[in-house]
Structure 1
Amino acid sequence: MSYEIKQDDKFRFIEEGEGEPLVLLHGLFGAMSNFGPLIDYFKQYNKVVVPILPLLDMDILHTSVGGLAKFVHKFIETRGYKNVHLLGNSLGGHVGLVYVLKNEPTSIKSIILTGSSGLFENGMGDSYPKRGDYEYIRKKTELTFYDPAMATKELVDEVFGITNNRLKVIKIIALAKSAIRNNLGEELNQIKLPTLLIWGNNDTITPPFVAREFNKLIPNSELYFIDKCGHAPMMEVPDEFNVILHKFLKKLNEPATVS
């Protein structure tokens, strides 16, 4: 499914459907394709928005979690979105959290995190591959999922293309280091927004204990685990993911009952 990429000022993004905005932030090796089933389902109920994050296009000084959080802030401000449900996978979740913590934006209604960094993550490991090591990239891409078959040739080729470019590799390492440095453990208790955590029980990059820690530290949070699922639940088990998310969003819009 291909979507029209819109442009507003310097921002490029997908915007499908009507209703409260559901803004989706992808991870370090992520792309819009990660959210296909989610866009198709939620555009019936929400305005689904996927900004193209300039992960590898910012100057090296601003290639950081904080730099991306500023970008998201400007994007939401420029578009004038209100009552936003902000969803982030992996690094995208981390960026969303930093944006909310730094700006305390009144435009955000809820946060949804799935496989988010910000507390702990297993990255590419200590050694970065030599450029051109396709097999290494294939194995690393497979580790994202419970089912290695999810790492299609198309997906591996996409990641390989990024890691085969010297400048892009420098920026990826800068972002990965920034994510590790930018640990949010001390600040998460400041987040008062309703927060949904959807986690793969077989996530090896941000393992289940990370989800439990987020749940413990974010006061108004609820946690769901999905079995036989890795680091990208919205890709690997989209039907289950969508049901959990839809229930959460519907509950937020129910009138509060007076006891």
Structure 2
Amino acid sequence: MREADDNRSNTAPGHVAIIMDGNGRWAKARGLPRTAGHKKGVDAVRRTVEAARELGIGTLTIFSFSSENWRRPEEEISDLMGLLRFYLRSEVAELHRAGIRLRVIGDRNRLSEDINRLIDNAEGLTRDNRVMTLVVALSYGSRLEIVHAARRLAEEVAAGRLSPGAIDEDALSARLYTADIPDPDLIIRTSGEKRISNFLLWQAAYAELVFVDTLWPDFTKRDLEAAIEEFHRRERRFGATTAGSR
């Protein structure tokens, strides 16, 4: 049993998702504008993508901008969109060289035309890469995602392409933004907050949740490794029971 446990502890989760939180508090603690925290957050994204690749994680999802974030001050949103443009222009070539596929999920109707064009180009360039998939949740809200999937099902039923009796979990899952992405095994939230904030609600049904105190700009490979170590200490039963358990 010990050997089996050791082998398991050396295996990275197939899909790790991260709620990147704490940029604003990081900046405030240093007397800096929130923009400085967001810029440092981009550095943490770069470190974490490289760490995930080195650790053999198959899919890494990062929650970069939520549907609720559109309520933030216009100036802050403008700064965040500027950082997004910078990332898409400066980092995609390196992702491609590293064999990383980029996928963006979320409501892209609210994004500007030039950002959508950059996303299309990045996804097209990296489409066939197989080392790792980096999923960026952008303008993303899980409740809205589920509403969109339900609306698609309703439209297909109304058009006669789908029987109401054929609607099941698989049918709804196939109409989510993440239809081609495995469900997360591990969800990490930084900054000490203990909630998932409308992130991957359907997909996270059996994910392990790990909350860490580190603010996102300070997140390192060691923090990622520690969260994975905690993941391996959990017994995942997926609703079933084992001998001696309740």
Normalization by structure 2: what TM-score? Answer: 0.36
Larger relative contact order (Cα-Cα within 8 Å, sequence gap ≥ 6) = 2
More helix by share: 2
Larger Rg: 2
Normalization by structure 1: what TM-score? Answer: 0.34
